[in-house]
Amino acid sequence: MSATMSLPRQVVKKFLAKPQYEGEGAIVRRTIGRPELKHFDPFLLLDEFSSFETVTYMLEGAVTHEDFQGHKGTIHEGDLQWMTAGKGIVHSEMPAAQGTQKGLQLWVNLSSKHKMIEPRYQELQSKDIAEVTKDGVKVRVIAGEALGTQSPIYTRTPTMYLDFTLNPGANLQQLIPSTWNSFIYIINGEGHFGSTISSSITAHHVLVLGPGDGVEVLNNSSEPLRFILVGGEPLGEPVVQLGPFVMNTQEEINATLEDYRNCTNGFEKAKYWQSQIHD
């Protein structure tokens, strides 16, 4: 939404997300989840890739996914998958074809009361994601609201996820709930964030925003500027993480590992399941 803010947020931390190897030869740019920003409540991880929720948003190419419950599909350019792991799910994903595969994967933490819910998927094809253009600003509303448009995605942890493109000379004022944590990840181009007199910041930087009720952005360059704005309500709970397992205490992590090893309490179908998309 476009509105006048009483306290615009400023950039309080920024760093460049450098490529690193992850998994079976994949190269990712990790922002949240690296030493400079281990956790950013309620967010656990954000990767740009060439118990919690994972949000996979494809920028280019396609990825095929499959899990031990029999859910399988392919996410293409512009598509979204919002997966709630809940009490546990074994999941596999691989590039669907040769060529460039580029996307963003965000991990959103769940509160303790929701960690043991049943797994769930919400998927939107690119054509079904709300897109609005006004005064040189285009936004794709992945979650939350912008420019008067609401996403149909339900987020158990209140979250906004907005994909903005600003034409040269365009500026934006976007409201953010004042109690939420928020950050920006620049996909392409460069712009001024938090203040029109601030230094221009380029692609692949993550920008942690300070307190306030919104953010101002200006594209003063000759090329389009594309970035995601993500905000979420902090949970204020302890985080104990071991790989893909995220709980509140070490005892809960130990119990979850036992369930996984013994194929109990939600992991029963993992005992004989083998992914077919690696073949």
Instruction: Please indicate, yes or no, if residue 231 is contained in any of the structural domains.
Output: yes
Residue 5 in any domain: the answer is no
Residue 149 counted as domain residue: yes
Instruction: Report, as an integer, the average pLDDT of 145-171.
Output: 95
Residue ending a domain, among 128, 163, 184, is 128
Residue 219 maps to a domain: yes
In this prediction the pTM is 0.85
Write down the pLDDT at residue 151: 95
263 is a domain residue? no
Mean pLDDT calculated for residue range 135-163? 95
Give the residue from 139, 206, 204, 202 showing the smallest Cα distance to 175.
139
One domain, residues 20 and 124:
yes
Is 267 contained in some domain?
no
Residue 1 pLDDT > 50: no
Residue 133 clears pLDDT 50, i.e. is over it: yes
144-155 pLDDT per residue, tens: 999 999 999 988
Q: What is the mean pLDDT of residues 89-113?
A: 78
Q: Is the pLDDT of residue 184 over 70?
A: yes
Measured in degrees and rounded to the nearest 5, phi and psi for residue 257 equal: -65, -40
pLDDT of residue 104: 92
Same domain, 114 and 92: yes
Q: Provide the pLDDT for residue 115.
A: 73
Mean pLDDT, all residues of the chain: 84
Please tell me the total count of domains within the chain: 2
Contact at 8 Å (CB) between 241 and 220?
A: no
Instruction: Mark whether 85 and 185 lie in a shared domain.
Output: no
Last residue of a domain, which of 203, 220, 237?
237
Q: Is residue 165 part of a domain?
A: yes
Q: Percent of the chain, pLDDT > 90?
A: 46
Q: Encoding tokens for residue 259?
A: 């369930």
248-278 pLDDT, tens digit each: 888 877 877 787 677 777 666 666 656 565 5
Q: What is the pLDDT of residue 50?
A: 45
**pLDDT tens, position by position, 196-253:** 778 999 999 999 999 999 999 999 999 999 999 999 999 998 887 766 667 788 887 7
Q: What tokens appear for 224 in the block?
A: 């389009």
DSSP 87-131: T---EEEEESSSS--EEEEEEEE--GGGTTSPPEEEEE-GGGSEE
Dmax over CA atoms of the chain, in Å, equals 59
Q: Report the C-alpha gap between 132 and 266 in whole angstroms.
A: 40
Range scoring the smallest mean pLDDT among 3-12, 19-28, 33-42, 51-60: 19-28
Query: How far apart are the C-alpha atoms of 40 and 113, rounded to whole Å?
Result: 20
**Residue 149 near residue 84 (C-beta atoms within 8 A):** no
The CATH number of the domain holding residue 213 is 2.60.120.10
What secondary structure does DSSP assign to the chain, as a single string?
-B---SSB--EEEEEE--EEEETTTEEEEE-TTBTTBS-BTTEEEEEEE--EEEEEEEEESEEEEEETTS-EEEEETT-EEEEE-TT---EEEEESSSS--EEEEEEEE--GGGTTSPPEEEEE-GGGSEEEEETTEEEEEEESEETTEE-----SS-EEEEEEEE-TT-EEEEE--TTSEEEEEEEESEEEES-TTSPPEETTEEEEE-SSSEEEEE--SSS-EEEEEEEE-------EEETTEEESSHHHHHHHHHHHHHT-TT-GGGTT---STT-
In the listed set 201, 221, 237, which residue is the last one of a domain according to the structure?
Answer: 237
Domain of residue 141 covers 130-237
